[in-house]
Structure 1
Amino acid sequence: MSGTAVKVPAMAIFNAPHYPWNDLLHTVNNAAQEYFAQYRARLAQRPAQSDDGFGRASWLGATGASEAEIVRHEERLGMRLPPSYREFLQVTNGWDEYSHSSLRLLTLAEVGWTRDVEPMIAQIWDGLDGADPQDEWYLHQESMSASLCVSEEIEGQVWLLNPHVVGPDGEWEAWDFASWHPGEVRYRSFWDLMEYQFGRYLA
């Protein structure tokens, strides 16, 4: 949708970060590095085994996305991304799953509507909800197909952002879909979802 104006919510857009992503992500990263060091120490006692480079990266994230890059992908998607997700991307454009701290979070280039990124999963879950992809309203309602896929699907679990439930602060509702619990677990925002997931890892 290059050249299409991005839909910006009728609210003030603040440039200052609202969420302590830098602190949270570095705390998780430090915990992961401790785990990796312990893992390699155990393997060192077994010369026949190799770590194959596991946990060698000093940072589980990536270089943060620039404002211009974020805007370019917002134009592709046709919507302005929610504040906490934008701020996350500015710190790191994606997140690695090797620490088991979370699912692998997609880079901006990989992020897309679930109907395009994970069509099979979208069809299965929307079918269970009784949604009909032939209906006119289908792609504009609270369906999995109309959600934004921000993580890789791993062993039946995927994380999505719902642009049809938006708070006064511009935050989109976040969904945790997994094969082991019925329906979606809902969070107020991407920040709330990740704070919970990372909190479990750090506990």
Structure 2
Amino acid sequence: MITLLKKISEKAIELGDFEFTQEQIENKWLGIKPALETDIKLTEKKLKVKLPIDYKQFLSITNGFSAPNNVEPTFEPIEKIDFLKNIDDFLVKVWNQEGVSDIGQQLEQSILVGGSMEEQYFLLIPPKTDLENWKYWKFSSWQPGEVEFKNLEHYFTDVLEFMNDCIEENK
């Protein structure tokens, strides 16, 4: 995953569609120092979940990741993640109405890991049973709704492909 994140960082800086810090530009890296194992465990205890392995791997590489463009969300540091219902209860209530309550129920269980105070979120949705897998959603009301990814690597691969397409279009 580190290779993927480095490529995204390099492409984002090459595109220059977003304002980056001097340090990010010099290092060609949109991440920050890794999360401590103790912070990850404290967050799991607070949330009463075992976070998915790939997300913990991401945190061991970088405890947050700046948005690479105006489309993708910023990934929050471990200290700032929480259930979406604790951050944006209004959104959860809106999507719990008749006709869309299946999405609302998913949102009620989701953990916001990216996009806090931005126009779209990146959410992790815990499995309800041991036979299910975590869900990975990019969510915004303007799309409308969710875009699901198989896992975190699938999401970041999609981001890199988008970045490559943007660079190709700008040539």
Shorter-chain TM-score: what band? 0.7 to 0.9
SS at 2:92's partner residue? helix
Instruction: Work out whether residues 12 and 163 of structure 2, in 8 Å CA contact, stay in contact via their aligned partners in 1.
Output: no
Tell me which residue corresponds to 1:177. 139
Unmatched 5+ residue regions in structure 1? Answer: 1-20, 40-52, 132-137
Counterpart-to-counterpart distance in 2, 1:56 and 1:166: 45
1:74-113 deviation per Cα after TM superposition (whole angstroms, max 9, x unaligned): 1111111001111011101111126447211111111011
Counterpart-to-counterpart distance in 2, 1:106 and 1:166: 27
Unmatched 5+ residue regions in structure 2? Answer: 166-171
1:35 matches 2:15: yes
TM-score (norm 1): 0.67
Cα drift, residue 130 of structure 1: 3.3
TM-score (norm 2): 0.78
Tell me which residue corresponds to 1:124. 94
Counterpart-to-counterpart distance in 1, 2:90 and 2:44: 24
1:166-196 deviation per Cα after TM superposition (whole angstroms, max 9, x unaligned): 786x851111222233432222222222321
Instruction: Work out whether residues 9 and 68 of structure 2, in 8 Å CA contact, stay in contact via their aligned partners in 1.
Output: no
Counterpart-to-counterpart distance in 1, 2:130 and 2:14: 37
Q: Which has the larger radius of gyration?
A: 1
Cα drift, residue 65 of structure 1: 0.8
1:193 matches 2:159: no
1:1-203 to structure 2, matched below 5 A, reads: 21-36=1-16, 54-58=20-24, 59-97=29-67, 99-100=69-70, 102-127=72-97, 129-130=100-101, 142-153=105-116, 154-155=118-119, 157-164=120-127, 171-203=133-165
Paired AA for residue 159 in structure 2 = Q
Paired AA for residue 57 in structure 1 = E
Instruction: Work out whether residues 165 and 173 of structure 1, in 8 Å CA contact, stay in contact via their aligned partners in 2.
Output: no
Instruction: Work out whether residues 85 and 191 of structure 1, in 8 Å CA contact, stay in contact via their aligned partners in 2.
Output: no
Instruction: Work out whether residues 44 and 51 of structure 2, in 8 Å CA contact, stay in contact via their aligned partners in 1.
Output: yes
Counterpart-to-counterpart distance in 2, 1:92 and 1:166: 29
SS at 1:184's partner residue? strand
SS at 1:160's partner residue? strand
How many pairs align? 158
Cα drift, residue 27 of structure 1: 0.8
1:117-158 deviation per Cα after TM superposition (whole angstroms, max 9, x unaligned): 221221212225237xxxxxx9xxx42111111112422x21
Identity, in percent, stands at 24
| CA RMSD, 1 decimal | 2.7
Paired AA for residue 88 in structure 2 = E
Counterpart-to-counterpart distance in 2, 1:188 and 1:167: 17
Instruction: Work out whether residues 5 and 156 of structure 2, in 8 Å CA contact, stay in contact via their aligned partners in 1.
Output: no
